[in-house]
Structure 1
Amino acid sequence: MWNRIYQFMKVREDQPELNRAIFTSLGNMIPLMYAMVSVNMIALAWTHWSVAPRWLTLTLPIFFTVITFLRSVKFHKHRNTYFSDEEIRKQLQITVFMSGPISAMFMLWEFSLLNYSTGLMQGQVMFFAGVTAFGTAFCLIHLRQAAIIMMMSTIPPTAIFLALYFNQPVHIAVAINMLVVGALAVFIIRGVNNDFAALIAQQTLHGEQKEKLQRLNHDNLKLANTDALTGLPNRRSFYHALDQYICEATETDSQLVVILLDLDGFKPVNDVFGHPAGDALLQAVSERLQSRLGDSGLLSRLGGDEFGILLTDPGTDDEVLALCRELSETLRQPFRLKEGVANIAGTIGIARYPESGRSRGQLFDRADYALCYSKQHSKGEPIFFSEDHEKAIREYATLEQRLREANLENELYMVFQPIMDTRRDKVMAFEALARWQSPTLGNVSAEAFIRSAEQAGLIANMSGVLLDKALAAAMHWPADVCLSFNLSAVNLSSSASVRDILRRVDRSGFSPSRIIFEITESAVMRDFDRVIEALNLIRSTGARIALDDFGTGFSSLSYVQKLPLDRIKVDRSFVQGIDNNLATRKIVETIAILCRNIGIGCIVEGVETSRQMDLVHRMGLTEIQGYFFSKPLDEEEALKFVQSHNSDDDIAWLSA
């Protein structure tokens, strides 16, 4: 039994949230309870002042009032103080244990006064006993143990005392009434306490669910802003940070630098070693860059093999360039992967706030432009966006606008440069080269308007118009002369684009077997698997495939082996140095040997001098293109050229 009583009085340790709620409630209610008890004591002592001794009417009331006042001050003082769960439990346990003795002392004080009471004064004492008991119990209602102990320590003893001491019907009736109401009050206390506990449990559950939801939101936000592979901030996080830094730089009139870094040679690693090796390489690159940057900049992975860096205290342009060169040098060191050694480099474009732009879009686009410029003109050397670049952007914008407004059918035309078979001194093919005569811009270089068309998404339509014109011109050539036509990456990006090209060929009536479609290494690298699928579809019609500008990009024997190629075109940059650079000569000779060994043709571009012609002949190369034979010719000149060089003899290379 004693164990059950102890368990009843014990404040549970496994309900810290409920205990904290009870403690908070008592912090508000106990001072009110003490105030009520003190007022009742003072009122009762005053009415008994003339009949009871001073220790009952003065000493004890003052003592109890001081104690309750100090307890009230303590509760009020600590109501905003944070206590641990264990400290709260101990405070509640003390309150439970104190409720019995305190209520007993008040009850004995009441009984002592009854010895000096007469008539109405006895009624006042009984009223005080009932009001105090019920009032204190309901002030402690959320701490069930203390409330019930308070009731059990006062109501039954008072009722028994009234019934036995006075033994009068009225006193017995009051006693029975107190017992009945007290019992009902106990049930009410239990019910309210259970409801309070359920409410706190529900609030705790809602709080836990809210906390869990907030934690999930935080995790989701972190995932949404973190690159899963490298653990770096991703593009979204980079943009958000850039926006914040721009606001800070605007308010403080400070500088900000945006750096974009693109890996050179990453795709061959992916293709040769596989995607797991590519992932490992990206992780290693991230670690190297982060190690070098430290806390001086925010490093992010923007996607693929592109990284972004934000410098909020960039220093001078020379200091930024020095940092970027160090980053480039860091990337040039070999990466040792499980699959093998990877050698890559990095191209970097830089934009400074506010000189290069004042918005996120401007800064990012101009850093990207500087990066693209570096790739085309000074690979490996970091470049700041400059006024010259700004001028070029305006020119490109103008060019793009004119291109959109152009009547392509009327303004585009083709010229043709012969590809000679020097074994027989005959034209084996003409390469069709695009030209644009703009009514407002005049003659626009092919490199400029083709790149602009690719960027503007106009290249597919343009390629169709140019192919139609080239096929129409080729219809007048002898049967032994082929048409060599360049395809862009966009033409190979989908089966629909390829089928449009083939429909145009079929509609023209020109035999597909007389067409050589030229593709570049950059087009191959954009989506290797899709390019192979597109080229196989083209070859299924009898058309042939040549890899253009071989050796200028990240050439890979893996590409040559896997691609359905009929020819490789050696880039003119190798031919220009072939007569005075032994290494260049050896490279061209190696390419010639490679082509012979795997059974494909080799066309040499850019031959301009008899010395160059003699050297490539010694290497056994007989398919030549360049100014040594002819500049690009218009349609009529090309027809005259082929008529002067070719006869009606069958030509052997068509069956090669």
Structure 2
Amino acid sequence: MPSQINKNNKIENARACYPTIRAVIIDDVPASMLVYSWLLRKEGYDVTCIGTKEELTHFLADSHRNIDVFVVDTSQKNLAAPEIITLLNEHKVYAHSTKVVLVDQDESSVAQLSFAAGVVEIITKPFNTKTLVSRIAVTQARRLLARNSDYTRDILTGLPNYAGILTFFEKVPAQEHADFFVVSAELANITTINNLYGWEVGDYAIIALTERFRSIQPVGSFLARYSSKKFCFICPGTSQAKVEQILRKIKAVASKRVNTGKESIFIQLNLGYALSEGPEGLSNAQQNADLAANLASSSSGYHAISYTPAAKQALQRAYSIRHEIETKRLQEQFEMYFQPQVNISTYTVVGYEALFRWSSPSLGSVSPAELFPILENSEQVHEIGLAVFQKCFIALRSFPERTSVAVNVSARQLSERSFADDVVRLAKQHGVDPSRIEIEITESGAVDLHGVAKNNLSSLVSYGFPLVLDDFGVGYANLNYLLKIPLKKLKLDRVFIQGLATDSSAGNIVKSLCLLTRLENIELLAEGVETREEHRALTHLNVSLGQGYFYGRPEPLKFWCNS
């Protein structure tokens, strides 16, 4: 009890030292923003209100204001709370300000994302006046106490945080700022890890990665964790050889799975780097490396991008794409194209793969490679995924009864607890025969099937949806493991197909797979068949199914209805 009293006294003393608290309320609903601001002003707070994205952008650009606490309401149409928190945490002035989020009772996922982004307090609605004001005040006071101890350190890893980076910049003489390079490493799949295995496992993975980064940290360098999923190395020197050396080391330690005792976790990193130039070089290099990491594709696991002016333009486009997603314009504009899958011997169409296409009036054509990494990190991925299934269910009515439609499903979608139930519900609404809708997952996604994702897939298979493995041969799984999954079909990646005419080993691999899949009663489909020579080679090897430009390009539904 004495320790608790002492702690409360410290909090009261901290509050007394800061009688006027400067607060910013971010809420695009005028009525609720008016109520919150009135409640806080009544208690003596100096309050600023932000109701639009334009106002937020303008506010962040004015970095001279000293703000104690940000209050963010999650019940907004145009402002995503986790994204706002991330922007604040990455801001050079507001990184150490207190962040409080107001959530509805049914918004647990938003609360989790907000905590991951760096929120220190979640207040659940409905609440009374005393609850709102007292919890904001106590949270701010505790934050001040923590700041007085060491606000420059990340609590989880002990590494310097963004405030620690700023302190480091101040200590480096201006004339030496041009003698560094910065590498930013973004833990791309931490949200999926948290959803699949839980927050404790996610924290364990971050700590394990921190220790690995420490083991390769160059002499004289500075290592920090400056947001919930981003690390950076600030290293002396500007030679490309030194940059490539640290990138190789980062990739090497990150490629090893993290073993928790129960789970084996695969780490995905997006890497960006930039060289320091001029007296403000360090600060600019850190921002530019962060920008490059945001653009790095995680499709290859550990892709690294160097900052260029073109990269900045690409980031601006990426933000425009994200805005289209958040405002739900994407859902109104996307359509599905269908590429035929044929019996190689008879050229008979046996099914179609559904492929996502989006032509935006403001952005033009947006490729899947450009869209999906952004979509996967948005809160709309589940909703849009269900919209894809709905379009495919409707399209199925127009195809002959003997044909099927394959729908691609990502690991992020499978990590959504209600995914299988929602898909089954839609199928029942549309009277769909589940045996005609194939669930297509990638090889890497199959290997990481645990917890929620595994349960979702099992539920879909139990209901009658066939399971297809896509891109076989480009991942890291062994075939024995994959054969334990109840597969209907295995899709052989084009990397094998294009070597059939010139590489005998490719032919031997395909021949062996034909025999093995036949024994296991699994259909084998060759992807990316583009030439008559490839078609003939597959016929000779007794591969039964094919897909590619040689048989037909992806086309909208009306094309196939008129064919």
Of 460, 479, 488, the match for 1:557: 479
Q: Does 1:350 align with 2:270?
A: no
Q: Does 1:368 align with 2:293?
A: yes
| Corresponding position of 1:35 | none
Q: Does 1:310 align with 2:233?
A: yes
Task: Return the letter of the residue paired with 2:496.
Answer: F
Partners of 1:385 and 1:513 in 2: how far apart? 48
Of 327, 330, 353, the match for 1:431: 353
Contact 1:435-1:446 within 8 A present in 2 as well: yes
Secondary structure at 1:254's aligned position in 2? helix
Partners of 1:264 and 1:551 in 2: how far apart? 23
Secondary structure at 1:630's aligned position in 2? coil
| Corresponding position of 2:543 | 621
| Corresponding position of 1:243 | 166
Contact 2:182-2:286 within 8 A present in 1 as well: no
Task: Return the letter of the residue paired with 1:388.
Answer: A
Distance 1:292 1:396, change over 3 A: closer
Aligned ranges for residues 217-616 of structure 1 at < 5 Å? 225=154, 233-234=158-159, 237-249=160-172, 254-255=177-178, 256-261=180-185, 290=214, 292-299=216-223, 308-311=231-234, 314-324=236-246, 327=249, 348-353=271-276, 358=283, 362=287, 365-366=290-291, 368-369=293-294, 372-373=296-297, 375-376=298-299, 382-405=304-327, 407-408=329-330, 410-524=332-446, 528-557=450-479, 559-616=481-538
Contact 1:321-1:382 within 8 A present in 2 as well: no
How many residues in Structure 1 have an aligned counterpart in Structure 2? 406
Secondary structure at 2:318's aligned position in 1? helix
Contact 1:408-1:465 within 8 A present in 2 as well: no
Partners of 2:520 and 2:225 in 1: how far apart? 40
Deviations 1:129-180 (A, max 9, x none): xxxxxxxxxxxxxxxxxxxxxxxxxxxxxxxxxxxxxxxxxxxxxxxxxxxx
Give structure 1 stretches of 5+ with no counterpart.
1-216, 267-277, 642-656
Task: Return the letter of the residue paired with 2:294.
Answer: Y
Contact 1:349-1:384 within 8 A present in 2 as well: yes
Secondary structure at 1:532's aligned position in 2? helix
Aligned ranges for residues 194-233 of structure 1 at < 5 Å? 225=154, 233=158
Deviations 1:75-126 (A, max 9, x none): xxxxxxxxxxxxxxxxxxxxxxxxxxxxxxxxxxxxxxxxxxxxxxxxxxxx
Distance 1:334 1:536, change over 3 A: closer
| Corresponding position of 1:269 | none
Task: Return the letter of the residue paired with 2:443.
Answer: E
Task: Return the letter of the residue paired with 1:369.
Answer: N
Q: 1:613 deviation in Å?
A: 1.2
Q: 1:225 deviation in Å?
A: 4.8
Contact 2:272-2:290 within 8 A present in 1 as well: no
Partners of 1:414 and 1:499 in 2: how far apart? 23
Partners of 1:438 and 1:283 in 2: how far apart? 41
Task: Return the letter of the residue paired with 2:522.
Answer: I
Give structure 2 stretches of 5+ with no counterpart.
1-145, 191-201
Partners of 1:241 and 1:593 in 2: how far apart? 59
Distance 1:221 1:326, change over 3 A: same
Q: 1:334 deviation in Å?
A: 9.7
Q: 1:432 deviation in Å?
A: 1.2
Q: 1:512 deviation in Å?
A: 0.8
Q: 1:283 deviation in Å?
A: 9.8
Aligned ranges for residues 39-54 of structure 1 at < 5 Å? none
| Corresponding position of 1:53 | none
C-alpha RMSD of matched pairs (Å): 4.7
Partners of 2:256 and 2:358 in 1: how far apart? 45
Secondary structure at 1:483's aligned position in 2? strand
Partners of 1:410 and 1:345 in 2: how far apart? 31
Q: 1:638 deviation in Å?
A: 1.7
Q: 1:472 deviation in Å?
A: 1.2
Q: 1:524 deviation in Å?
A: 4.0
Structure with greater strand share of residues: 2
Q: 1:602 deviation in Å?
A: 1.8
Structure scoring higher RCO (CA < 8 A, sep ≥ 6) equals: 2
Deviations 1:603-630 (A, max 9, x none): 2111111211122223321111111111
Partners of 1:401 and 1:262 in 2: how far apart? 21
Q: 1:543 deviation in Å?
A: 0.8
Q: 1:365 deviation in Å?
A: 3.2
> So what's the TM-score if we normalise by structure 2?
0.60
Q: 1:250 deviation in Å?
A: 8.1
Percent of matched pairs sharing the same residue: 24
Task: Return the letter of the residue paired with 1:425.
Answer: Y
Partners of 2:302 and 2:308 in 1: how far apart? 18
Partners of 2:189 and 2:515 in 1: how far apart? 25
Task: Return the letter of the residue paired with 1:436.
Answer: W
